[in-house]
């Protein structure tokens, strides 16, 4: 039996009527840019997250880029982040004219390691008036960008206290974590700002590209709203150069509908994750993802560590069992970032994870027999009975 890694058609069936009604209303009104769906979504997401302000933008990547700009990142300044993430995290830093500094991950959570962050700050940086300075070449570093990878929040208490101590700002990359919680608070409410993505395959996805920024800072919110419309507050008067980065009405309408179902869908994902865990108990070659009791994981991805990962992947491909490697090449080893000067061996846990991880099918409508089939095939692979 083939199992798809993600089948969005099953989700669409549940909301088809609502979506078509809402979209046809937009066409009747012919109001496609910054209309009532965007402003309502901004209010509804702020309420859902427990954030003061939300600002819709064109993508998760832009949410990062505009936030970095609004938070005052200047040309050549550093941003500390993880190398084990989707490309956009450090692509946005570069496109905001900043320079990424990579810190290794915690091997259990796959998220940036607070201990390694502290070690980097203590051994390689000097304190400065604002943030720190990288000793080797005096690069100013003002921002830390943790990524809540696969839907599991980073250890925000530790990260926040380190950042306070060193006077660093936090921008969260919550693109995989809409609805995740850390100690009862939603991911995306810990930093000065947080970026979300509505890319169709995310837990809360639109019908195309879309993104959102949350912040508790009124001035930052104002600046972000200005940056998304070419830097103008009053039309045709520009006191800074911004972007064309709006969330469009159709995306906002779809996301608004899905937001109502999000908790239900995230709960289903967590149940599927539990089923996987129970089923995998008999497969000792597989390590299932860990979630500390103080966090709520939304399982944007269900990612295992597997022995002989590449062979397993080839086997599952051949059996039509959906699977993906997120991410095969850490960012510090990407050709395009060669100029940053990193090499293999610099971030050992990140490199090890890239060689061992494998994402398996997970979505709210995935059926119990499909989960069992995935595990059965993986068990078959390891027992040699193929």
Ligand X SMILES: *Cc1c(COP(=O)(O)O)cnc(C)c1O
Chain residues that interact with ligand X, rule: CB under 6 A: 59-61, 85-86, 88-89, 147, 173, 175-176, 197, 199, 209, 211
CA distances from 131 to 123, 326, 356 (A): 15, 31, 35
User: Which residue, 202 or 296, has its beta carbon nearer to ligand X?
Assistant: 202
User: Which residue, 199 or 280, has its beta carbon nearer to ligand X?
Assistant: 199
What's the closest the beta carbon of residue 357 comes to ligand X, in angstroms? 14
User: Which residue, 65 or 366, has its beta carbon nearer to ligand X?
Assistant: 65
User: Which residue, 58 or 286, has its beta carbon nearer to ligand X?
Assistant: 58
- Closest CB to ligand X belongs to which residue? 60
Residue linked to tokens 């999000």? 262
Other beta carbons within 10 angstroms of residue 183's beta carbon come to 13
Please state, in angstroms and rounded to a whole number, the distance separating the CA atoms of residues 57 and 312. 39
User: Which residue, 90 or 319, has its beta carbon nearer to ligand X?
Assistant: 90
User: Which residue, 60 or 114, has its beta carbon nearer to ligand X?
Assistant: 60
What's the closest the beta carbon of residue 245 comes to ligand X, in angstroms? 11
What's the closest the beta carbon of residue 1 comes to ligand X, in angstroms? 29
What's the closest the beta carbon of residue 370 comes to ligand X, in angstroms? 24
For every residue of 114-173, DSSP letters joined together read HHHHHHHHHHHEEE-SSSEEETTT--EEEEEE-B-GGGPPP-HHHHHHHHHHTT-EEEEE
Give kind and range of the element (H or E) at residue 331: none
What's the closest the beta carbon of residue 206 comes to ligand X, in angstroms? 9
Please state, in angstroms and rounded to a whole number, the distance separating the CA atoms of residues 268 and 265. 5
Please state, in angstroms and rounded to a whole number, the distance separating the CA atoms of residues 91 and 147. 14
Please name which of 302, 316, 315, 319 lies closest in space to residue 357, comparing C-alpha atoms: 302
Residue linked to tokens 């520009």? 238
What's the closest the beta carbon of residue 85 comes to ligand X, in angstroms? 5
CA distances from 238 to 57, 97, 218 (A): 19, 21, 20
What's the closest the beta carbon of residue 5 comes to ligand X, in angstroms? 15
User: Which residue, 42 or 173, has its beta carbon nearer to ligand X?
Assistant: 173
Please name which of 338, 327, 198, 196 lies closest in space to residue 258, comparing C-alpha atoms: 198
Contact (Cβ atoms closer than 8 angstroms) between residue 66 and residue 95: no
């Amino acid at each position: 039996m083939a199992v798809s890694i993600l089948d969005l058609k099953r989700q669409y069936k549940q909301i088809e009527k609502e979506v078509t009604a809402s979209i046809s209303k937009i066409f009747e009104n012919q109001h496609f840019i910054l209309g009532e769906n965007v402003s309502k979504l901004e209010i509804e997401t702020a309420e859902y997250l427990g954030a003061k302000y939300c600002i819709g933008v064109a993508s998760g990547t832009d949410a990062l880029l505009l936030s970095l700009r609004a938070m005052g990142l200047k040309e050549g300044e550093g941003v500390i982040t993880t190398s084990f993430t989707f490309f956009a995290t450090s692509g946005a830093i570069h496109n905001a004219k900043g320079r990424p500094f990579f810190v290794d991950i915690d091997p259990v959570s796959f998220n940036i390691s607070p201990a390694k962050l502290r070690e980097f700050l203590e051994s390689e940086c000097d304190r400065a008036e604002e943030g720190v300075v990288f000793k080797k070449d005096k690069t100013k570093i003002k921002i830390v960008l943790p990524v809540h990878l696969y839907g599991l929040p980073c250890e925000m208490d530790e990260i926040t206290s380190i950042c306070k101590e060193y006077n660093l700002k936090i921008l969260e990359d919550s693109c995989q974590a809409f609805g995740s919680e850390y100690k009862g608070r939603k991911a995306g409410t810990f930093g000065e700002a947080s970026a979300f993505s509505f890319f169709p395959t995310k837990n809360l996805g639109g019908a195309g590209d879309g993104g959102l920024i949350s912040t508790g800072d009124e001035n930052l919110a104002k600046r972000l709203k200005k940056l998304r419309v070419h830097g103008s507050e009053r039309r045709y008067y520009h006191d800074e150069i911004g972007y064309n980065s709006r969330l469009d009405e159709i995306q906002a309408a779809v996301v608004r509908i899905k937001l109502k179902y999000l908790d239900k869908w995230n709960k289903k994902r967590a149940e599927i994750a539990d089923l996987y865990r129970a089923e995998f108990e008999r497969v000792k070659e597989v390590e299932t993802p860990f979630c500390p009791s103080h966090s709520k994981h939304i399982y944007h991805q269900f990612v295992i560590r597997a022995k002989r990962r590449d062979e397993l992947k080839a086997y599952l491909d051949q059996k039509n069992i959906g699977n993906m490697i997120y991410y095969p090449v850490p960012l510090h080893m990407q050709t395009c970032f060669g100029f940053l000067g990193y090499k293999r061996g610099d971030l050992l846990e990140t490199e090890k994870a890239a060689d061992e991880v494998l994402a398996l099918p997970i979505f709210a409508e995935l059926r119990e027999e499909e989960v069992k089939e995935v595990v059965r095939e993986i068990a078959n692979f390891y027992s040699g009975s193929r």
